[in-house]
Amino acid sequence: MAKYIYEHKNWTEFTWDDKAINAVFGEVRLMQGKIIGQMNTLGFSAKEEATLTALTLDVVKSSEIEGELLNYEQVRSSIARRLGINTAGLVPSSRHIEGVVEMMLDATQRYKLTLTETRLFGWHAALFPTGYSGPYEIEVGRYRTGEMQVVSGAMGKEKVRYEAVEQELVKAEMDKFLNWFNNDNKLDPVLKAAIAHFWFIIIHPFDDGNGRIGRAITDMLLARAESSGERFYSMSSQILVERKRYYEILQKVQHSTGDITEWLEWFLHCLKNAMLATESTTQKILYKAEFWNLHEQTPINERQRLMLNKLFDGFEGKLQTSKWAKITKTSTDTALRDIKDLIDKGILQQTDEGGRNANYELANFKL
């Protein structure tokens, strides 16, 4: 069996091939600047909306990577409440969701603060408020005191994918990690985010929740790289898309002798893809903001406003009078009046399908 990276002397003196990563690293830095520039042209509420969407995705997708599905609306409401963003239809969220949100916001909004052992323990306790992970009792708010194996495969055919640093070395390894995290300012924060993610995952200091905390640490450094707690893209969403490769690369590089070029390459490409995905979302937000600017003086009632926002945010399926009535809790007659009114104003149009069940869509307007 090949040695694990941490079994080598001075294993944290990572090396990489600058030439292999320079091009993609340059692209990532350029794109970060571009996205921030684009966002700064948005009005305050559109910018808030973009941050709220990115943070919500980050929380939901980071948990989904671990196979846990959180309620999107509950997460969104919890973040909106904590950031003081007024959004219609806030829904109460569970204690568990509040904990996950608390950790993510502490990492991204207080990104300048020192990362300490106590702070990490707080994050861990917030992730597991009951002291259980599923049906299993775990050690919460402290480093693990048992051995750690990452196992996959069906029952009876499990395969050990990874054996983490021995429990008696965890504290010393984490002290070293935190010292580097807080005091090494020579590295560009984007590269530091990539290295921190890998280093933390290799130590695997907790009984559970290592992936989520590792990704929160990444987000914290990305916020530092942009000197801003405003988040406009979600790295976790992209990791979820590339999850298979994420685990493959981690598995491969965990056996390296200290050269982490492959991991850095993958991480930077993943980050680039996360930002590319955001560009299309940004276009939607810009489009929506532009629309409302254009129609600032247009008389539009609350039902119409609600439905138009739904259409801008990506309405599922076809928009018909019956759906309008159901969502706005009105009669079909009122719904039809609302729709006709928007058609007269040149905001909605009927699609070509026609027939008994007419479908409607947003009319094109020029930006």
Please answer whether residues 215 and 62 qualify as being in contact, where contact means their C-beta atoms are separated by less than 8 angstroms. Answer: yes
Write down the pTM of the prediction.
0.84
CB 104 within 8 A of CB 52: no
Question: What pLDDT does residue 367 have?
Answer: 45
| Three-state helix/strand/coil letters over the chain | CCCCHHHCCCCCCCECCHHHHHHHHHHHHHHHHHHHHHHHCCCHHHHHHHHHHHHHHHHHHHHHHCCCCCCHHHHHHHHHHHHCCCCCCCCCCCHHHHHHHHHHHHHHHCCCCCCCHHHHHHHHHHHCCCCEECCEECCCCCCCCCCCEEEECCCCCCEEEEECCCHHHHHHHHHHHHHHHHHCCCCCHHHHHHHHHHHHHHHCCCCCCHHHHHHHHHHHHHHHHCCCCCCCCCHHHHHHHCHHHHHHHHHHHCCCCCECHHHHHHHHHHHHHHHHHHHHHHHHHHHHHHHHHHCCCCCCCHHHHHHHHHHHCCCCCCECHHHHHHHHCCCHHHHHHHHHHHHHCCCEEECCCCCCCCCEEECCCCC
**Domain 297-362 architecture:** Orthogonal Bundle (1.10)
pLDDT of 59 reads 97
> Across the 367 residues of the chain, what is the mean pLDDT of every consecutive 10-residue run?
92 98 97 89 82 93 95 93 83 93 97 98 97 95 94 83 95 98 95 98 97 98 95 95 95 96 98 91 79 90 92 83 94 96 94 77 74
Burial class (CB in 10 A: 0-12, 13-18, 19+), 358: middle
Q: Where are the domains positioned within the chain?
A: 5-287, 297-362
**Domain 297-362 in the same topology as domain 5-287:** no
Residues in a beta bridge with 15:
259
Q: Are 75 and 56 in contact (CB under 8 A)?
A: yes
Topology adopted by domain 5-287: Fic-like fold (1.10.3290)
Q: Which of 17, 45, 12 is nearest to 180 (CA)?
A: 12
